[in-house]
């Protein structure tokens, strides 16, 4: 779902999943009504705790999870309570209301502009934007998509929104202007994302169809990506490129798949997990970076909008990861393909560049300034 920022490139698939395993925590939305909450699992899928206790803060049917590391909070959107709620990122204690969304908030995503994009299930169903302090910015799209439940950006900055009720995916340009239907004839689509390999293919989870389909860059059906998964909703990528997908319908597990859709098995189950529809993978190594842990300068300048690698250091790594100040991975780069990185499309502010491979790790702070 984070394709504008090219989060998952092919190089990421080549990294061993154990590389960052000790630094990962998995958070999963669970339940509806009084049993609504967020469950926490280890990097290997072992249940750890009810991170957000059932019903805490009035949460009802949670839909998405986003950590704002610099604020020490986690946002959880609640469809039935029509609010995005805040919880402490360390202990899960309720911390107040981030925003009230009359249409019922579903998916949330931080865009390249640093704003929080929020989908609405009902009302006018337009895509909303907020500053990360909860200040409302605008209705980004000029039209709405009823029962919005999935979003993704392409490499050109166009935004795609899926409609569960209308069984389609709608396209908007980078100004939020309606470009018409991109895909129709779906079966209750939920999450959508672009293939990490960069070929332009879109993957769509069909909740009613109990499968996932692959489409080409023009919206034409290629075929099954996953042929059998009960009521799929919620997706996240592990460091080795494998996918975690929620499965409902009484199955109520988190299932793991290889990057091509090949089943691996059950990643997490039981412990009251019900109707999982959002999965968040938190990288504690990035969330906790302090100035004392930063490496010598390997990217110059440290302030600007175009950055050059120190090739004598960086060429020893197959890829670099770019994180924003919230701890969210926004882009993965292959340094051997280009010695520079242009950050024009990102908002001004603090970012981290991380090189991590085979036990070696360099981290550097930069500031994007235009």
| DSSP percent split of the chain into helix, strand, coil, nearest 5 | 10, 45, 45
Query: Which residue, chain included where needed, has tokens 């989060």?
Result: 7
Say what the pLDDT of residue 291 is: 60
Q: In angstroms, rounded to a whole number, what is the distance separating the alpha carbons of residues 146 and 121?
A: 6
Say what the pLDDT of residue 316 is: 75
Q: Which helix (H) or strand (E) holds 349?
A: strand 349-357
Cβ–Cβ under 8 Å, residues 323 and 352: yes
Q: What is the DSSP letter of 313?
A: H
Q: Output the average pLDDT for the chain.
A: 88
Report the SS3 class of residue 46: coil
Say what the pLDDT of residue 360 is: 66
Model confidence pLDDT, tens digit, residues 103-146: 999 999 988 888 999 999 999 999 999 999 999 999 999 999 99
Say what the pLDDT of residue 290 is: 61
End-to-end CA distance of the chain: 27
Say what the pLDDT of residue 357 is: 67
Which one, of 219, 215, 273, lies nearest residue 247 by Cα? 273
Q: Is residue 8 predicted with pLDDT exceeding 70?
A: no
In degrees and rounded to multiples of 5, residue 62 shows phi and psi of -65, 145
Q: Can you list the domains of the chain with their CATH numbers?
A: 20-287 (2.120.10.30), 291-368 (2.60.40)
Say what the pLDDT of residue 21 is: 41
Say what the pLDDT of residue 310 is: 83
Q: What is the arithmetic mean of pLDDT over 18-24?
A: 51
Whether omega before 269 lies within 30 degrees of 0, making that bond cis, reads: no
């Amino acid at each position: 779902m984070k394709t504008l920022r090219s989060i998952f490139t092919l190089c990421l698939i080549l990294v061993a999943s154990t590389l960052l395993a000790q630094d990962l925590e998995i958070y999963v939305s669970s339940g509806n009504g009084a049993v609504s909450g967020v469950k926490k699992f280890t990097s290997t899928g072992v249940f750890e705790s009810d991170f957000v206790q059932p019903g805490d803060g009035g949460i009802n049917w949670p839909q998405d999870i986003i950590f704002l590391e610099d604020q020490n909070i986690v946002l959880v959107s609640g469809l039935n309570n029509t609010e995005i709620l805040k919880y402490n990122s360390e202990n899960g204690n309720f911390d107040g209301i981030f925003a009230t969304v009359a249409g019922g908030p579903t998916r949330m995503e931080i865009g390249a502009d640093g704003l929080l994009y929020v989908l609405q299930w009902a009302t006018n169903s337009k895509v909303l934007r907020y500053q990360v302090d909860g200040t409302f910015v605008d209705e980004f799209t000029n039209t709405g998509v009823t029962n919005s439940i999935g979003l993704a950006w392409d490499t050109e900055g166009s935004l795609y929104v899926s409609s569960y009720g209308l069984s389609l995916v709608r396209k908007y340009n980078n100004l939020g202007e309606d470009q018409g239907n991109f895909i129709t004839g779906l079966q209750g689509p939920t999450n959508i994302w672009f293939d990490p390999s960069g070929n332009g293919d879109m993957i769509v989870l069909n909740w009613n169809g109990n499968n996932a389909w692959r489409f080409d860059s023009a919206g034409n059906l290629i075929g099954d990506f996953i042929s059998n998964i009960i009521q799929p909703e919620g997706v996240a990528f592990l460091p080795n490129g494998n996918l975690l997908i929620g499965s409902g319908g009484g199955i109520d597990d988190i299932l793991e798949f290889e990057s091509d859709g090949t089943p691996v098995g059950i990643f997490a189950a039981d412990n009251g997990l019900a109707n999982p529809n959002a999965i968040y993978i938190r990288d504690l190594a990035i969330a906790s970076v302090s100035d004392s842990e930063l490496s010598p300068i390997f990217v110059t300048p440290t302030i600007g909008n175009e950055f050059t690698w120190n090739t004598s250091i960086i060429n020893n790594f197959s890829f670099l990861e770019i994180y924003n100040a919230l701890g969210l991975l926004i882009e993965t780069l292959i340094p051997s393909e280009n010695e520079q990185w242009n950050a024009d499309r990102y908002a001004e502010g603090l970012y981290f560049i991380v090189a991590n491979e085979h036990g070696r790790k360099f981290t550097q702070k930069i500031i994007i300034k235009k």
